[in-house]
Amino acid sequence: MKYDWCDTQDINPKSAYTTMRDAIYKSGRPMLFSICEWGDNKPWEWATDVGHSWRTTGDIYPCWNCEHNHGSWSSWGVLPILDKQAGLRKYAGPGHWNDMDMMEVGNGMNEEEDRAHFSLWAMMTSPLIAGNDLRSMSDSTKKILTNKDMIAINQDKLGVQAMKWLDEGDIEVFIKPLEKGDYAVLFLNRADAAKNYQLKWKEHYMKDDISKHEIWFDKKVYQWRDIWNATQGSTADTLNLEIPAHAVRVMRLSSK
């Protein structure tokens, strides 16, 4: 049940959405209640007990890094929506999620951008809602949307939204704690050209003050598996990556 917020001048959002929540409870039917007021009233601060998810931004647009101006409002590409999540991860958790809007996979971006888009939404525990025409999607779009390993990262029972761990300018590294001591690590190339990136795992430490997870990579070795390329390796070795423009590499780390 998605409750949109068009033509709502002088209406109190918390009261309106709470009224709908109570009506859903009264119906006796199980529903997922999606709050969609575009983050205008900071629903992450009050909607944990009202809805199951809340939009954090205006509408999405099928582009990598753009603002599509409609006059009195704008829709946004993948990177602007990602950047607008800064500071919001502490509000997400099981049963209450930051919603980055339905995905635009298969709606005009290239395959690398689509794969990055899907991966970022999964890492950020955003609801994975397909916004393309399922009747006519390409094989590559279907392959992206049905990647079970990436979906498992999104649906992990801990429900921890990924944090930005390393910021190297064009290259950003996000990490997401998973159940049973695993981690997902995403390497994002924001640039318009391919980038080479090297990570000496042992020189880095990760501490997440929100989920209370931490890793000393010089003390504990993890095996990693690339979610999209099926390659494998170990954090005992230096990682060397070539990441295409507007692309990601995603790895699942396990200590077993």
Q: Can you read off the two tokens belonging to residue 101? A: 């809007």
Q: Is 114 a catalytic residue?
A: no
How would you classify residue 54: left for phi > 0, otherwise alpha for psi between -120 and 50, otherwise beta? beta
The one catalytic residue among 4, 83, 133, 237: 4
Residues 242 and 209: their CA atoms lie apart, in Å, by 31
Residues 65 and 57: their CA atoms lie apart, in Å, by 15
Q: Is 59 a catalytic residue?
A: yes
The one catalytic residue among 7, 22, 59, 156: 59
Q: Can you read off the two tokens belonging to residue 24? A: 């859903």
Sequence letter at residue 98: N
Residues 39 and 99: their CA atoms lie apart, in Å, by 10
Residues 74 and 67: their CA atoms lie apart, in Å, by 6
Residues known to be catalytic: 4, 59
